[in-house]
Structure 1
Amino acid sequence: MSPARTRRWAWAATARPVLAAAVAVAGLVACQLQAGSADALLIIRHGGTYTGTYRSVNSAVPCVLIATTEPVVLRDCVLYGAGDLIRATQGGAQLTVLNCRGYGLPQSQDQTRHGHFLEVNSARSVRIEHNYFERTTGISIYQWSGDGTPAQTLTVRYNSARNIDGRFRDGGSTMANFLGLNGLPGLANIEVAWNQVINEPDQSLVEDNINFFNSGGTRTSPARLHHNYIQGAYPYPATSATYSGSGITLDGDGRAAASTTAYVEGYDNQVVSTCAALNIAAGHHNHFHHNRLITAGLLPDGTRLVANYAAAGLWNAYRQPTTVFNHNLFSSNVIGFVHWGGSSPWPNRQDLSTGACTPCTGTVHLPNPITLQTEQAEWARWQQKLRREGLRVGPILAKPRPAAIAQTR
């Protein structure tokens, strides 16, 4: 169980325009950088499908800015940025991000975060599939203006991310998530599935890899949070004794049942080598079941991980009344979580948070020892799962187009 944290996210959407040449190619709008351009910003003012390579070394200048409420598809883009790679914060966005690659560059200013792969405010629809990004502060989605129908909801699937990094270049840090939701309560048809997130010790600083804050589904359409592989959630440096991050946390300070985190169903996720795995700290009608939570209590070089606490925690962090915090449950999860000095269910284990997981039923406690090899076996299990389902995470390379055949008369 990680300590309760109060999230306060306020995002500005300011940027100076930088022109890029645009040409129509095979029905796409393909934008190329001008030679010698140090900073590049594509401002999308009209709907359509866009592709291209963009690079911004200025932390204040995003690579791509969405400035329209018309449907936009970003496909096969390659993005390099010291700031946000894609920003859609003007409200009403209808955005699909497909098959793109994003790379965080060193910040251009002190006390400044790495950019998000994608930052969105008050969107109508967002679909993020088959992308890869590294050394960013992940995907941040704040509030919602869609109606929750299948065409106006949030879908995050088949993505691969590495080293979510909230560190500043000159010391200090900010919270960073692979996926952070804030202020999306009662949104039907949410799906977050088949994503792969790997964070390396001392190369990353993630808070909760996935955090639902005052966000969730509905009674008839719970948010589906399933078949994600999450590896790594460490302090910086990784040998530090304190840390509040996790694999997945359901959180929120909403004071009413309709404004807190609710109706989230998390299942068939694998959470490996984290200081905490799954937490329910707020809300109602949230259920984690049939997940695998494995931590050996060791860093890859064999050094003990001392900041970790417990695999599963369920507690009323915001001390809300039973009208707001109720009907939360863990059931049938497979857990092997080493916490040095722990005692649940055996010495040096903390599969369930002491005193904070009474409604945790049907837990399958893996037998000792839980080792680095046990963690590695989870990676093999994940790969087998992808093969069995015929799925691939990250970008799918397009097949080369056949060469044009010259026609003669």
Structure 2
Amino acid sequence: MLHEPTYSSRLASSSYDGPLVITRGGTYSGNWESRDSDVPAVDIRTAEPVVIINSSIRGAGVLIQSLLYGADITVLHTEGYGLPPTPYTDYEKPRRFLAVDEFKNVVVEHCYMEETAGIYLGVQYTGNSSPEQTVKIQYNKVRDINGQIHDGKYRVQFVQFNYRGELPYAEIAWNEVINRPGLSAVEDNINIYNSRGTPSSPIRIHNNYIQGAFPYPLHLKTYSGGGIISDSPAADSLTATAYLKVYENHLVGLGNYCLAIAGGNNIEMHHNRAIVAATFDDGEPYHFWTSGIWAKDYYKMHTTYNNSIHHNTLAVLGETRTWRNEIADSTFVAAAEYDNFVLPDSVTKQLEQQEYRLWQEKLRRNHIKIGPQRDR
């Protein structure tokens, strides 16, 4: 029987081995944990293809890590849980589900993540630019992205790209991400930072459901995170974020912004839906900024151009619920095409709940199941 895992049930029913170090390619299944933030639960030290499948991993620091190996990693039908962080040495170590620097291929599909710090891909893409050496992050179920570290908080995302090199065939799709106020500590849910697709094969971010983005601790009145952002302070248009398509995503109940271009070129955002009632479940209004879409050359590097934002559907209440704030700080320099639809309906929590029902119906209609699909 298939079912969604819960943290409490996994703690009660599973035994875990200590940290695992992988030095050769192959397929690995098991339960591994690390209660030390300095030690990854699974440390991959090989360039050979590694597949982790039907596993459960938990950690006080990084759950799955590969540094300086030109990694080829596939993670399938695997659960990941954050444990209480411990003191760390040298640098902050948030509880990334997967942290990779040099890589040639990364696939994360049908996984479940709870209280982790998401997926980080940095430094360098070293693959051969074929469909077999790319990035696919698909069909995952995610709860409460959390950047807590010992005595502090690190800025983390569900997914951050921060690599150099053009990467074709990359895709972030059909993921369900739900962050709860006071229980999550997420910055941008998806951040594409100085990372690039190609003219013929842009990075595709589509058909994701992203709910919740809040300050942590929750009482803070300022918050710099949000939904999906193209971000790039690069002074060179050949290294700035570029060739990105963001479409058919659902963005619900987010603080600060839903979609944004803070830098980059040749970016298209279309047919997304942003629904924000700016209200907590108890009826209290958000006490921090909210907006639907913005686009501008935030860093003033003149590498932000040839962008298009069109056919998005917006229903976004502003801070304190006294005004609507679907479009903010937008300039036609940053987005040459800007043509979107604002729902005339009143923006309520019921409208947010309806959006989740639309998402579930979309999954059924496309015969897609998310999260681990394995018998227990």
Common topology (TM > 0.5): yes
**2:346 aligned with 1:363:** no
Deviates more, 1:160-169 or 1:242-251: 160-169
1:97 aligns with 2:72: no
Equivalences for residues 10-409 of structure 1 within 5 A: 40-109=18-87, 113-142=93-122, 143-170=124-151, 172-275=152-255, 276-321=257-302, 324-340=303-319, 348-356=323-331, 359=336, 361-398=338-375
Contact 2:206/2:249 (CA < 8 Å) preserved in 1? yes
Contact 1:65 1:86 in 2 (8 A): yes
Q: Is the 8 A contact 2:285 2:320 kept in 1?
A: no
Sequence identity percentage:
38
Structure 2: 5+ residue runs without aligned partners?
1-14
Distance 1:352 1:209 in 2: 19
Quote the offset at 1:115 in angstroms.
Answer: 1.2
Task: Rate the CA distance shift 1:365–1:160 in 2: closer, same or farther, 3 A.
Answer: same
Structure possessing the higher radius of gyration over alpha carbons: 1
After superposition, the C-alpha distances for 1:311-342 in whole angstroms (9 at most, x for unaligned) are 10101011012xx2210121000000000378
Contact 1:39 1:57 in 2 (8 A): no
What residue identity is the alignment partner of 1:68? T
Q: Supply the distance in 2 between the matched residues of 1:48 and 1:155 (Cα, whole angstroms).
A: 19
Q: For residue 283 of structure 2, what is the amino acid of its counterpart? A: G
Write the deviation string for residues 163-214 of structure 1: whole angstroms up to 9, x where unpaired.
Answer: 11112353x3110100011024421111110011110000011000000000
Q: Following the alignment from structure 1 to structure 2, what is the Cα–Cα distance between the partners of residues 162 and 218? A: 31
When the two structures are superposed, what TM-score results if normalisation uses the length of structure 1? 0.83
Amino acid at match of 2:56: V
The alignment covers a number of residue pairs equal to: 356
The amino acid of 1:202's aligned partner reads G
How many Å separate the matches in 2 of 1:185 and 1:334? 33
Compared with structure 1, are the counterparts of its residues 49 and 333 closer, same or farther at alpha carbon in structure 2 (3 Å cutoff)? same
Instruction: In structure 2, give the amino acid aligned to 1:339.
Output: G
Distance in 1 between residues matched to 2:165 and 2:346, nearest whole Å? 41
Cα drift, residue 368 of structure 1? 3.4
Q: What amino acid does structure 2 have at the position aligned with 1:51?
A: S
Cα deviation code 1:329-383 (max 9, x no counterpart): 21000000000378xxxx6101001454664533110123100011000110010
Determine the C-alpha separation between the residues in 1 that align with 2:224 and 2:341: 25
Higher mean C-alpha displacement, 139-148 vs 44-53: 139-148
Shift of the 81–214 alpha-carbon distance from structure 1 to 2, 3 Å rule, reads same
Q: Distance in 2 between matches of 1:63 and 1:340?
A: 41
The answer on whether the counterparts of 1:113 and 1:167 sit within 8 Å (CA) in structure 2 is: no
Q: Is the 1:113–1:173 contact (alpha carbons within 8 Å) kept by the matching residues of 2?
A: no
The SS at the match of 1:381 is helix
Q: Aligned to 1:363, what secondary structure does the other structure show? A: strand
CA contact (8 A) 1:253 1:260 kept: yes
Letter paired with 1:325: T
Q: 1:105-143: CA deviations, max 9, x gaps?
A: 001227955411000011011111000011111101002
Contact kept? 1:186, 1:262, Cα under 8 Å? no
Question: Per the alignment, in what secondary structure is the counterpart of residue 155 of structure 1?
Answer: strand
Are the counterparts in 2 of residues 106 and 114 from structure 1 also a CA contact under 8 Å? Answer: no
Offset at residue 39 of structure 1 (A): 7.4
Specify every segment of 5 or more residues in structure 1 that has no aligned partner in the other structure, as ranges. Answer: 1-36, 401-409
- Secondary structure at the counterpart of residue 362 of structure 1: strand
Report if aligned partners of 2:278, 2:290 keep a CA contact under 8 Å in 1.
no
SS in 2 for 1:258: coil
CA distance in structure 2 between the aligned counterparts of 1:67 and 1:392, rounded to whole angstroms: 32
Q: Is the 8 A contact 1:214 1:251 kept in 2?
A: yes
